[in-house]
Amino acid sequence: MDAHPNATVASEPTKVYSAQTKGGIASAVEDLWEGLKRGSIWRAFAWDEIQHRYRRSTLGLAWIVISYVIFVLAITLFFSGFSSMQSGGFVAYVAVGYAVFGFLIGNVTDGCVVFSGASTWIKSSSLPYSIYIYKSIARSFFPFIIQIATALVIMAFFGWRPHWSGLLAVPALAVFLLNAIWIQLFFGLIAARWRDVAHLVGALTRVLFFTTPILWVFEERTGIVRQVASINPLTHFLRIFRAPVLGDVVPLESWYHVASWTVGGWVVAIFLASIMRRRLPLWV
């Protein structure tokens, strides 16, 4: 596969994709399917952007691991005293939680610029709009996998051993990717139309970081803190992945929340796409 997106796009069969000019739910779904089939394009886009980000860096992609390890160890050092968990357990809790939170919230923030950042391509090419969504997800999924692998190494160092229950994290990972698509589609459309949305999301992201059980343990909290965390969807997305990895049981409550957000999010995102996609070139 050619790593440069221009070469990859040029190598694709010339085919005019006209669903951008159509409205309706069927056209929105068609766009998502057509974009998914052109994986060679969005993978090349994603890899080119990853390389560009670290191109002039001496350590290159190693910075993904270095920055992640520094954060996890620093948080463990300063916050482990506030938890009754043993140091090794708290390190695992933070390591997995931070990686998952970064991927999930990254899809929200990236979604706000997924279309506006690709304005030149949107205005000059007939590619499905969903290609930019898949590219953005692939770009964030790569460091996420590296961070999870690093987390497992850190956990093993502190005595963690893999358990068969960890395989239950695989369907959670699939759910993450499924939700990432509608999240980026939803925020991409509304942020392209109303640019203030990106600033609002930036402000809320800081709040969500502290109201999501990353620096503190959900089961150890009571009162208003636990209530706020319980209505935070990120809490439940975290639990369906982190609990199996740590050998714990995922509460059914969390799966109910995740299922509700997944179905509801897709319904809203497809509906918005069916009425907003045609005007996207005018907004970006």
| 258-273: pLDDT as tens digits | 999 999 999 999 999 9
**pLDDT in the model for residue 15:** 46
**pLDDT in the model for residue 132:** 95
* Spatial separation of the C-alpha atoms in residues 106 and 58, rounded to whole Å: 25
**pLDDT in the model for residue 9:** 53
* Spatial separation of the C-alpha atoms in residues 61 and 66, rounded to whole Å: 9
In this structure, of 11-20, 132-141, 158-167, the range with the lowest mean pLDDT score is: 11-20
In the numeric block, which tokens belong to residue 22? 């159509």
* pLDDT at residue 177 tops 80: yes
pTM: 0.87
In the numeric block, which tokens belong to residue 172? 């959670």
Mean pLDDT, the chain, whole residue set: 86
* Spatial separation of the C-alpha atoms in residues 277 and 166, rounded to whole Å: 40
Q: What is the mean pLDDT of residues 99-123?
A: 92
* pLDDT at residue 99 tops 90: yes
* Spatial separation of the C-alpha atoms in residues 111 and 104, rounded to whole Å: 11
Per DSSP, the three-state class of 193 is helix
* pLDDT at residue 80 tops 80: no
User: In this structure, are residues 189 and 270 in contact, taking their beta carbons and an 8 Å threshold?
Assistant: no
Q: Which phi-psi region, left, alpha or beta, contains residue 51 (left: φ > 0; alpha: ψ -120 to 50)?
A: alpha
* pLDDT at residue 162 tops 80: no
What are the backbone angles phi and psi of residue 83, rounded to the nearest 5°? Answer: -120, 150
Q: 24-33: long-range contacts (C-beta < 8 A, 24 or more apart)? A: 24/274, 25/270, 25/271, 25/274, 27/274, 27/277, 28/270, 28/273, 28/274, 28/277, 29/270, 31/128, 31/129, 31/130, 31/273, 31/277, 32/128, 32/130, 32/181, 32/185
How many of the other CB atoms lie within 10 Å of CB of 79?
A: 15
User: In this structure, are residues 189 and 129 in contact, taking their beta carbons and an 8 Å threshold?
Assistant: no
* pLDDT at residue 228 tops 50: yes
Q: Could you tell me which residue, 126 or 232, shows the higher pLDDT?
A: 232
pLDDT tens figures, 272-282: 999 988 888 88
* Spatial separation of the C-alpha atoms in residues 272 and 186, rounded to whole Å: 7
* pLDDT at residue 6 tops 70: no
